[in-house]
Amino acid sequence: MTNLQELRQRNLETIFHPKSVAIIGTNKVKGTVPHDILDNILKADFDGIVYPVSPKETSIKGIKAYKYVVDVPDNIDLAILVFPSSVCHMALEQCGQKGIKSVIIISAGFKEVGEAGLQREKQLVEIARKYDMSLIGPNCLGVINTAPDVKLNASFAREMPETGNIGFLSQSGALCTAVLDYAQAKHIGFSKFISFGNNADINEIDILYYLMNDDKTKVILMYLEEISDGKALISVAQQVIEKSGKPILVIKAGRTAEGALAAASHTGSLAGADEVCDAAFE
């Protein structure tokens, strides 16, 4: 494991087990993603401290709000960014100055929208590297940890899923919501639920390494629109199966030309040859 991968593993632990969370860019408008992220964290009865950060509000849902994240007087484990993509880099820079190492970027408007978005995404990664931060996203639904001692719904999914032993990771936030709706109807539980969107930093390989050592996870489900590093993916998958005995079930999108085009427009993904993926998974 490289130094960067080791850094991501440490920061993933903080993402799933934070003691304090800042929602940067939240607001009071019900039905909007910035509001719903904060509302979901509170409704799930998160076992930690919550800090709303909003340039326009002094309090939200009865909680003191701060204009900027650097104004928060306490240490923050996890930041969730829901600002427009045009200003995310400024908020992320402040997170670095604050000493925050783990960040989930919900905001869209990055490589999935073209060259200008790709440059904004690269800027985020440069800031993350400067401060030893790790990012999930951008352009994602968020992260859920159902463990009773955490109860973190850092997403804009409508409901917190039941506690279970399935670790689910997906590039598609829309698929995540469909899976959550289906699972709720069937009373299927999850240990960890991760929407990683454009995987600008943390990717499926990092998450597999984490879930391999997660004692709450017994089986892993994956939905991929692109594969970051095929050789590394096969290597970590073999380690997961051999060391932990956890089965991995994978759905790979972009099997047809139309599907590959849809994936590119959705998360800016470049689909690999379907025959290669089939052979590797076999």
The answer to whether the beta carbons of residues 56 and 28 sit under 8 Å apart is no
Give the predicted TM-score (pTM) of the model: 0.91
Query: Whose CA is closest to 259, among 247, 282, 233, 277?
Result: 277
In percent, the amount of the chain with pLDDT more than 70 equals 90
Report pLDDT for 271.
Answer: 46
pLDDT tens digits for range 27-60: 999 999 999 999 999 999 999 999 999 999 999 9
State which residues of the chain have pLDDT below 70. Answer: 254-281
Q: What is the 3-state secondary structure (H, E, C) of 91-130?
A: HHHHHHHHCCCEEEECCCCCHHHCHHHHHHHHHHHHHHHH
215-260 tens-digit pLDDT: 999 999 999 888 878 888 999 999 999 999 999 999 887 665 555 5
Q: What is the pLDDT of residue 139?
A: 95
pLDDT reported for residue 269: 46
